[in-house]
C-alpha cells in the first residue's frame, strides 16, 4: 500500500517537472509592414475575401456562400507585432466578436497567419485586385 | 163599244206609225250620210283648226232610241308637229252621239244624252319648246277652255258614256312626261245638275305606262285596272259613294325606288250626312307588294299580302279611324343587306281619333304585332301649337318568349347577340309615359315602366349563366322617393325571388329574395351632371369561387354617386355594405364566419390629380364582430371578438381589434400614415401601432405559424435532414418572408403575460420597427419567474437568398436549466453548461445571413455570449467523473463552484470558449477551447488545474465529439493566466478579448429595476 503511494507521488513529481519544462514561448513578437495589408485578399483555394482599409476598417465575404463585396460584413482590425486582431461588429446590439491571429508572413501580395486560439489552423491569402 | 174603241185605237196607232215612218223616210232622204258627213265636216272645221277626216256620219234612231243618234265612223285629226312621232292627233274608229230629240225639236237645243267611243287612238304631243299638236282649237275656244270651271253651273244628264278599246299616248317633252294607256274601256252613267251628282262608273284599262323625266325619273306600268264607282251627292252636302278599284301587276319607280305588286283591290265606301258629318270604310288588299329603295343604305320590303282596313268617320268635330289596321303576311325586310324580317307576320291595329285641327289625337286599342309578339298601345297626343307636342302613352306587351325573340332577331344583329344563349324565359313589358316635345327638346313629365322576366335561364359567352325564376324591374319618373343629396329624376326597383349567376369553372353565386331600389338624376338634361343612388337588400347571398365559398345573411348594399355642377365636377361616391353574418370557406384550408359586418366607403374623384389615392380620396370605415376562423394549418381556431378601422387617404387607423389565437389574445391599435406620399413614391409608409395582450403564448404562436406557406415537399425534406439549420446545402429558392420596402412602421408592445416554452414573461414591453426592408425588435424587455430579459432582434431581406437575422438577448438571473430549456440552442453553443445548476446571467448577441430556406450562411455567422453564475452546483455526470479521475481530485470534493464567468465568440462555424475559471472546493481550474458547429460538434477543450492541494498542476485535453470523447493529460496551459507578471502576450491578449466580449455585450443592458 505504501509502495503504491510512493509510486504515485513519484509519478506526480516527474510529471510536474516535465510540464514545467514545456511552458511555450511567446510568439507575439514580430515586425511586419502593416501597409502591405491594405487591399483585398483572397484565401487560397477559396472564394473567401478580406479587405483591409488603411483606416483600420475592413470587410469580409464568401462568394461561395452567395455573398458579394457589396454585401460584405464589416470588422475593424489592428496589427500589433505579429498579432492581428479582427473585431467583427454586429448590427444588432453592441456586441463585438474578436478573432485573434498571429501573422507569420506578410508581403505585398501574400499573407500567412494562424489562429492564436487553435494554433494548428493556418491561413494563406493572396492579394487580389 | 169595246169593238169600236178597239178599231179606233188600231186606226190611231196605224196613223201615228205611218206619220213616224214618213218622218223617218223624210229624214233618211234629207239627212243622208253624205249630207250629214258634209255638215259635220263643216261644223268640225268651225271648231277644229287642224285637218279633219270624217269617214261617214249616219243618223240613227234605233241605236240610241228614244234619243236621236249621230253615228260617226273613222274620225281622224291630223296636225303635223315637228318632233312628233306621227301627224295623227287622234283617230276614232267609231263614235256615237245620242242627243235629246225632244229638246232639239222643242227648242233646237242640243243636249247630249249619250256618247259611245270605240276603237280609238290618240297621240298628244308637246315639244320641248311648248308646241303642242293639240293646238287644234280656235283661240277663242281655247280661251274659253282655260276659263274658270264652275261645277254648280254645269248641268249634265248623261244616259251613258262608253269608251271601248281606246288607246292614248301623252308625250309632253317640255314637262318630261310620257304616258300612255291601252285598252281603255269606260262605262259612265249619271247626272250633274245644280251641283247634285248621281253617277255610276265602270272603267277598265288593259295597260298603262308612265314616264316622267327629272332628277329622279318616274316610271310606272299598270295593267288590268278596273274601277267601279257609284256616287251620289246632293248640294245639301249629303250623299254616298261606293268605289272599287282593282289592278293587276303594277310597277312604279322613282329614282332608285321601285314598287310593284301583282294584284290590288281598293274598296272605298262612304256616307255624307247633311250635318257635315261622314263615315266611310276603306279596304285595301295588295298581293305580293314589294318596295325597294336604293342609296347608301338600300332597303327592300315585300310581303305575300298587304291588307289595310279602316273605318273612318267625322261627326262634325272629330275625325276617327276605328278600327284601323294594317297587316303584312309573310313579309320580308332587308336593310343594307341585313335581313331584318324573314317571312314575318306584321300587323298594326288601332282606334285613332283626331279633332278637326289635329291638335288632339287619341289612340286606343292599338296593337303592333310581329309574329306572336304584340305591343299594345294606347294614348293621347296633343299639339297645342306648331312647336309643342304632348303625349300620354301607355304601352304593354304580351308575354314574349325570349328564345322566340332571339329567333326573330335579324341575322345581322343575331351575330352580335351570338354570345347570348337563352334556354328558357319570357319577358313582359308594361310602360306609361307622359312627355312633351317643345322646340325639339324632350321633357318627360311622368313615366313608369316595368319589365318582368319569368323562368329566365340564359348564358352569356357560353360561360356566364343567369337563372332567375322571376325577376322584375321598374322605372318611374319622377322618382317616388326623394333624397336630399341630389334632385332625383327617375327611380326604380329590381327584384328577384332568387337569382343565380354562374361563371363557368369560376364563380357560382346566388341571391335569395333580392329587393333593390335605385334613383337617378335627370339624365335627359345634358346640363345636369349625372347622379345615382341604389340600395340592394337580400335575404341571402352565396358565392363560390374555385375553392372559396362565401355566404352572407341579410346583406344590404347601399351605394350613391353624386356629381356636383361646375366646370370640372368631382363625382362623389358612397357605399355601405352590412350583413348580419358572413360565412366563408377556402377549400379545406380556411373556414371563417363573422357576426355583424359593416363596411362604409366614400370617395371623391379628382381627375386632375395623378396619384390614385389623390384622385379618389377614399374614406373607409369597417367593423366586424364575433369573427371565427379555422385554419387548416393552425390546430387552434382564431377568434376576433371585434375589429374596427378607419381609412382616409393620409391615415389608416385601427380603432379596435381583439384577436384570440389559441391560448393567446391580443389587440392591435394605432395609425398608419403617409399613405399618399408612399403611393407617390415620395416617402415611406409610416405606422405607429400598439400591440397589447393580456396573455400571449409565444411558443404556441410560433408553432402555429411555423412553416406557414412552405411547400410540403420542402418541409418534409427539411424535417428529414439532421441539423438542417447548420447544413451548407444547395440553395433552395423558397418563399421567405420579405420585409416590405418603403414602410416605416413602429409597434409598441404591451403584453401583460407572455409564455414561451412553459415560462411566463410579464410586462413584455418594447418597440418593434419595420423600416424600409428592415424589421427590428428593439430592447424588448420583460420579466419572468425565471429571469428578467431584454431582447433586440433584427430581420432584413435585401434579396430572396440573402436574408439577415440578428439578436441581442439578455437573460438576467436565470436558472441554468431554465435557460437551456428556454433556449435549447445554448446547449449546442456551450455544451458544458448543462453540467451546472444554479442562477446565471446570460448575454448573447448573434447574427447571420440566411438562405431563402432560412438555413444559415455559415460564412456570415457571428456571435458572442457571456454567462455569469455564482454558487453553482456541478451536476454528477460521467464526464465530470472522468475529469476528476484524470485530475486526481478528491472524490469527496464538493461539486459546487463559487462563480462562473464564461465568454465565448462565434465566428463562422467556430465557437471559441475563452478561458474561464471554476473553483470546486480546494481545486481551481481554467477551461478553454473551441468546438465547431458542424454535424458532429467536434470540439477541442483544455482544462488546466491552477490550484489544488497537491503540488502538481495538471492539464487535460478533452477532444472528439460528444459521443466519442477523448481525454488526454497535457501540460497545464493556463497556469499563469491570472498571474499578470507571468502570463505571456497571447494570454494577455486573450484576457483582453474576453473582457471586450463581456463589456460589449452588456453595454446596452438596462438595470433590473427598469423591468420592475
The dihedrals phi and psi of B414, each to the nearest 5 degrees, come to -65, -30
How many contiguous H segments (helices) and E segments (strands) does chain B have?
14, 54
| Yes or no, beta carbons of B804 and A118 under 8 Å apart | no
d(CA A115, CA A103): 9
pTM of the model: 0.59
Window 618-637 of B: residues touching A by CB (8 A cutoff) are none
Pairing of strands B743-756, B685-697: parallel
**H helix intervals, B363-438:** 402-408, 411-416
Would you state the pLDDT for residue B890? 66
Angle, CA B166 vertex, CA B165 and CA B169 arms, to 5°: 145
With an 8 Å Cβ cutoff, is B955 touching chain A?
Answer: yes
Burial class (CB in 10 A: 0-12, 13-18, 19+), B21: exposed
Would you state the pLDDT for residue B764? 80
Is B193 within 8 Å of B153 (Cβ atoms)?
A: no
Residue A51 has pLDDT above 90, yes or no: yes
With an 8 Å Cβ cutoff, is A97 touching chain B?
Answer: yes
| SS3 assignment for B659-691 | EEECCEEEEEEEEEECHHHHHCCCCCEEEEEEE
Would you state the pLDDT for residue B702? 63
With an 8 Å Cβ cutoff, is A13 touching chain B?
Answer: yes
B contacts of A92 (beta carbons < 8 Å)? 792-794, 806-808, 845, 847
Window 136-165 of B: residues touching A by CB (8 A cutoff) are none
- Nearest-CB residue to B847 (from A22, A28, A91): A91
Nearest CA distance, A32 vs chain B (angstrom)? 17
d(CA B826, CA B816): 10
| Yes or no, beta carbons of A12 and B804 under 8 Å apart | no
B contacts of A7 (beta carbons < 8 Å)? none
| Yes or no, beta carbons of B997 and A98 under 8 Å apart | yes
A35-128 folds as Lipocalin (2.40.128)
With an 8 Å Cβ cutoff, is A93 touching chain B?
Answer: yes
Where does B100-217 show beta strands of DSSP type E?
112-126, 156-172, 177-193, 196-212
**DSSP assignments along chain A, one per residue:** -HHHHHHHHHHHHHHHHHHHHTPPPPTT-----GGGG-EEEEETTS-EEEEE-TTSEEEEEEGGGT--GGGPEEEEEEEETTEEEEEEEPSSSS-EEEEEEEEEEE-SSEEEEEESSSTT-EEEEEEE-
d(CA B91, CA B119): 8
Looking at the DSSP assignment, which residues form a beta bridge with residue B94? B73, B118
Nearest CA distance, B643 vs chain A (angstrom)? 35
C-beta neighbour count of B980 within 10 angstroms: 10
With an 8 Å Cβ cutoff, is A31 touching chain B?
Answer: no
Dihedral, B285, B289, B293, B298 alpha carbons, nearest 10: 120
Looking at the DSSP assignment, which residues form a beta bridge with residue A52? A39, A58
C-beta neighbour count of B658 within 10 angstroms: 19
Residue of chain B whose alpha carbon sits nearest to that of A62: B859
- Nearest-CB residue to B952 (from A12, A81, A87): A12
- Nearest-CB residue to A15 (from B807, B845, B952): B952
d(CA B308, CA B326): 4
Residue labelled with grid coordinates 299616248: B169
With an 8 Å Cβ cutoff, is B858 touching chain A?
Answer: yes
All three cell numbers of B734, joined, read 423558397
**Comparing C-alpha atoms, which of B379, B392, B384 is closest to residue B355?**
B384
* Domain assignments of chain A as residue spans, ordered by start: 35-128
d(CA A108, CA A126): 9
| Yes or no, beta carbons of A117 and B863 under 8 Å apart | no
d(CA B705, CA B699): 10
- Nearest-CB residue to B953 (from A19, A73, A117): A19
Averages of pLDDT over each 10 residues, chain B, 1012 residues: 72 75 68 77 80 83 78 88 88 86 75 85 89 78 50 67 89 87 87 80 87 85 89 78 90 89 90 77 90 87 90 82 85 83 87 85 88 90 87 91 82 77 90 86 84 89 87 83 73 90 84 90 78 90 86 91 81 90 85 90 84 78 88 81 85 88 87 79 84 83 54 36 39 66 83 79 81 80 72 86 88 80 72 78 89 87 88 75 70 72 90 86 85 80 84 83 85 84 85 92 77 58
| SS3 assignment for B803-823 | EEEEEEEEEEEEEHHHHHHHC
| Yes or no, beta carbons of A19 and B954 under 8 Å apart | yes
With an 8 Å Cβ cutoff, is A126 touching chain B?
Answer: no
Say how many CB pairs under 8 Å bridge A and B: 137
Window 704-733 of B: residues touching A by CB (8 A cutoff) are 728, 731
Sequence-separated (6 or more) residues with CB below 8 Å from residue B130 = B174
B728-735 long-range Cβ contacts below 8 angstroms, 24+ apart? B728/A65, B728/B855, B728/B858, B729/B855, B731/A66, B731/B801, B731/B851, B731/B852, B731/B853, B732/B851, B732/B852, B732/B853, B733/B800, B733/B801, B733/B852, B734/B710, B734/B852, B734/B853, B734/B854, B735/B709, B735/B710, B735/B852
| Yes or no, beta carbons of A16 and B798 under 8 Å apart | no
Residue of chain A whose alpha carbon sits nearest to that of B1003: A94
d(CA B456, CA B452): 10
All three cell numbers of B576, joined, read 355601405
Here the ipTM equals 0.85
d(CA B649, CA B653): 11
Amino acid at each position: 500500500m505504501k509502495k503504491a503511494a510512493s509510486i504515485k507521488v513519484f509519478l506526480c513529481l516527474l510529471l510536474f517537472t516535465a510540464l514545467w519544462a514545456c511552458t511555450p514561448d511567446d510568439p507575439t513578437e514580430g515586425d511586419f509592414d502593416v501597409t502591405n495589408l491594405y487591399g483585398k485578399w483572397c484565401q487560397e483555394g477559396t472564394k473567401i475575401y478580406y479587405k483591409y482599409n488603411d483606416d483600420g476598417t475592413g470587410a469580409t465575404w464568401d462568394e461561395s456562400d452567395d455573398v458579394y463585396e457589396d454585401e460584405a460584413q464589416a470588422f475593424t482590425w489592428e496589427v500589433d507585432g505579429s498579432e492581428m486582431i479582427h473585431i467583427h461588429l454586429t448590427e444588432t446590439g453592441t456586441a463585438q466578436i474578436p478573432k485573434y491571429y498571429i501573422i507569420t508572413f506578410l508581403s505585398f501580395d501574400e499573407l500567412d497567419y494562424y489562429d492564436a486560439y487553435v494554433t494548428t489552423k493556418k491561413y494563406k491569402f493572396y492579394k487580389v485586385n | 163599244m169595246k169593238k169600236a174603241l178597239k178599231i179606233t185605237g188600231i186606226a190611231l196607232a196605224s196613223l201615228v206609225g205611218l206619220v213616224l215612218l214618213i218622218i223617218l223616210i223624210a229624214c233618211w232622204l234629207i239627212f243622208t250620210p253624205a249630207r250629214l258627213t258634209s255638215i259635220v265636216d263643216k261644223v268640225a272645221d268651225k271648231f277644229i283648226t287642224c285637218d279633219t277626216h270624217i269617214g261617214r256620219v249616219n243618223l240613227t234612231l234605233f241605236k240610241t232610241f228614244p234619243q236621236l243618234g249621230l253615228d260617226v265612223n273613222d274620225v281622224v285629226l291630223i296636225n303635223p308637229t315637228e318632233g312628233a312621232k306621227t301627224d295623227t292627233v287622234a283617230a276614232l274608229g267609231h263614235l256615237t252621239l245620242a242627243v235629246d230629240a225632244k229638246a232639239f225639236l222643242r227648242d233646237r237645243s242640243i243636249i247630249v244624252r249619250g256618247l259611245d267611243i270605240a276603237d280609238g287612238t290618240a297621240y298628244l304631243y308637246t315639244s320641248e319648246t311648248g308646241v303642242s299638236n293639240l293646238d287644234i282649237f280656235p283661240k277663242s275656244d281655247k280661251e274659253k277652255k282655260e276659263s274658270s270651271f264652275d261645277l254648280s253651273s254645269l248641268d249634265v244628264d248623261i244616259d251613258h258614256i262608253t269608251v271601248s278599246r281606246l288607246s292614248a299616248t301623252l308625250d309632253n317633252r317640255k314637262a318630261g312626261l310620257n304616258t300612255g294607256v291601252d285598252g281603255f274601256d269606260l262605262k259612265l252613267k249619271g247626272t250633274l245638275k245644280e251641283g247634285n251628282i248621281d253617277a255610276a262608273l265602270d272603267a277598265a284599262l288593259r295597260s298603262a305606262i308612265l314616264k316622267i323625266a327629272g332628277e329622279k325619273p318616274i316610271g310606272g306600268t299598270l295593267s288590268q285596272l278596273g274601277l267601279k264607282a257609284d256616287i251620289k251627292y246632293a248640294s245639301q252636302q249629303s250623299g254616298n259613294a261606293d268605289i272599287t278599284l282593282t289592278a293587276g301587276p303594277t310597277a312604279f319607280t322613282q329614282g332608285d325606288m321601285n314598287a310593284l305588286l301583282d294584284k290590288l283591290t281598293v274598296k272605298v265606301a262612304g256616307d255624307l250626312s247633311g250635318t257635315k258629318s261622314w263615315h266611310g270604310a276603306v279596304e285595301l288588299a295588295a298581293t305580293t307588294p314589294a318596295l325597294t329603295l336604293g342609296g347608301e343604305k338600300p332597303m327592300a320590303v315585300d310581303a305575300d299580302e298587304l291588307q289595310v282596313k279602316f273605318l273612318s268617320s267625322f261627326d262634325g268635330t272629330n275625325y276617327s279611324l276605328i278600327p284601323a289596321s294594317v297587316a303584312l303576311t309573310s313579309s320580308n325586310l332587308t336593310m343594307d343587306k341585313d335581313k331584318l324580317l324573314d317571312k314575318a307576320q306584321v300587323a298594326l291595329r288601332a282606334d285613332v281619333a283626331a279633332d278637326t285641327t289635329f291638335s288632339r289625337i287619341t289612340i286606343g286599342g292599338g296593337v303592333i304585332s310581329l309574329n306572336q309578339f304584340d305591343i299594345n298601345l294606347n294614348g293621347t297626343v296633343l299639339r297645342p301649337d306648331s312647336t309643342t307636342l304632348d303625349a300620354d302613352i301607355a304601352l304593354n306587351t304580351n308575354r314574349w318568349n325570349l328564345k322566340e325573340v332571339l329567333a326573330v332577331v335579324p341575322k345581322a344583329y343575331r351575330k352580335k347577340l351570338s354570345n347570348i344563349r337563352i334556354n328558357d324565359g319570357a319577358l313582359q313589358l308594361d310602360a306609361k309615359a307622359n312627355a312633351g316635345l317643345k322646340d325639339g327638346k324632350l321633357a318627360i313629365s311622368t313615366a313608369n315602366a316595368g319589365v318582368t322576366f319569368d323562368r329566365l335561364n340564359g348564358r352569356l359567352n357560353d360561360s356566364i349563366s343567369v337563372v332567375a325564376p322571376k325577376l322584375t324591374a321598374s322605372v318611374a319618373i319622377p322618382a317616388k322617393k326623394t333624397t336630399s343629396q341630389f334632385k332625383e329624376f327617375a327611380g326604380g326597383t329590381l327584384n328577384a325571388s332568387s337569382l343565380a349567376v354562374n361563371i363557368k369553372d369560376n364563380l357560382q353565386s346566388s341571391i335569395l329574395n333580392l329587393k333593390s331600389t335605385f334613383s337617378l338624376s335627370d339624365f335627359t338634361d345634358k346640363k345636369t351632371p349625372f347622379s345615382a343612388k341604389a340600395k340592394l337588400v337580400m335575404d341571402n347571398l352565396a358565392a363560390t369561387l374555385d375553392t372559396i365559398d362565401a355566404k352572407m345573411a341579410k346583406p344590404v348594399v347601399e351605394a350613391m354617386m353624386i356629381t356636383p355642377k361646375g366646370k370640372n365636377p368631382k363625382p362623389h361616391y358612397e357605399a355601405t355594405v352590412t350583413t348580419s353574418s358572413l360565412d366563408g370557406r377556402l377549400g379545406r384550408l380556411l373556414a371563417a364566419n363573422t357576426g355583424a359586418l359593416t363596411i362604409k366607403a366614400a370617395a371623391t374623384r379628382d381627375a386632375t390629380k395623378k396619384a390614385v389615392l389623390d384622385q379618389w380620396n377614399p374614406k373607409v370605415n369597417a367593423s366586424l364582430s364575433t369573427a371565427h376562423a379555422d385554419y387548416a394549418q393552425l390546430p387552434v381556431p382564431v377568434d376576433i371578438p371585434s375589429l374596427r378601422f378607419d381609412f382616409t387617404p393620409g391615415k389608416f387607423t385601427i380603432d379596435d381589434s381583439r384577436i384570440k389565437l389559441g391560448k393567446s389574445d391580443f389587440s392591435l391599435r394605432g395609425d398608419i400614415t403617409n399613405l399618399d406620399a408612399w403611393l407617390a413614391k415620395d416617402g415611406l409608409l409610416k405606422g405607429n401601432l400598439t400591440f397589447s395582450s393580456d396573455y400571449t403564448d409565444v411558443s404556441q404562436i410560433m408553432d402555429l405559424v411555423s412553416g406557414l406557406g412552405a411547400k410540403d415537399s420542402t418541409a418534409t425534406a427539411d424535417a428529414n435532414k439532421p441539423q438542417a439549420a447548420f447544413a451548407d446545402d444547395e440553395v433552395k429558392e423558397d418563399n421567405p418572408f420579405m420585409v416590405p420596402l418603403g414602410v416605416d412602421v413602429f409597434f409598441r408592445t404591451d403584453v401583460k403575460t407572455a409564455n414561451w416554452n412553459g415560462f411566463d414573461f410579464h410586462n413584455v414591453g418594447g418597440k418593434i420597427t419595420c423600416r424600409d426592408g428592415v424589421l427590428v425588435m428593439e430592447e424588448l424587455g420583460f420579466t419572468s419567474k425565471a429571469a428578467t430579459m431584454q431582447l433586440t432582434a433584427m430581420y432584413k431581406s435585401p434579396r430572396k437568398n440573402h436574408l439577415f437575422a440578428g439578436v441581442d438577448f439578455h437573460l438576467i438571473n436565470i436558472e441554468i436549466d431554465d435557460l437551456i430549456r428556454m433556449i435549447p440552442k445554448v446547449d449546442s453553443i456551450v455544451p458544458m453548461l448543462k453540467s451546472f445548476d444554479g442562477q446565471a446571467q446570460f448575454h448573447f448577441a448573434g447574427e447571420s445571413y440566411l438562405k431563402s430556406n432560412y438555413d444559415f450562411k455559415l460564412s456570415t455567422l457571428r456571435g458572442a455570449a457571456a454567462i455569469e453564475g455564482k454558487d453553482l452546483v456541478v451536476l454528477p455526470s460521467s464526464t465530470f467523473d472522468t475529469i476528476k479521475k484524470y485530475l486526481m481530485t478528491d472524490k469527496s470534493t464538493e461539486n459546487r463552484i463559487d462563480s462562473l464567468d464564461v465568454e465565448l465568440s462565434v465566428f463562422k462555424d467556430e465557437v471559441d470558449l475563452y478561458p474561464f475559471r471554476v473553483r470546486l472546493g480546494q481545486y481551481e481550474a481554467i477551461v478553454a477551447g473551441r468546438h465547431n458547429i458542424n454535424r458532429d460538434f467536434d470540439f477541442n477543450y483544455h482544462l488546466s488545474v491552477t490550484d489544488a492541494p497537491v503540488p502538481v498542476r495538471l492539464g487535460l485535453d478533452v477532444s472528439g465529439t460528444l459521443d466519442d470523447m477523448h481525454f488526454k493529460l497535457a501540460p497545464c496551459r493556463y497556469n499563469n493566466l491570472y498571474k499578470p507578471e507571468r502570463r505571456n502576450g497571447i494570454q494577455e491578449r486573450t484576457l483582453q478579448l474576453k473582457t471586450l466580449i463581456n463589456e460589449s455585450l452588456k453595454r446596452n443592458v438596462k438595470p433590473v429595476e427598469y423591468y420592475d
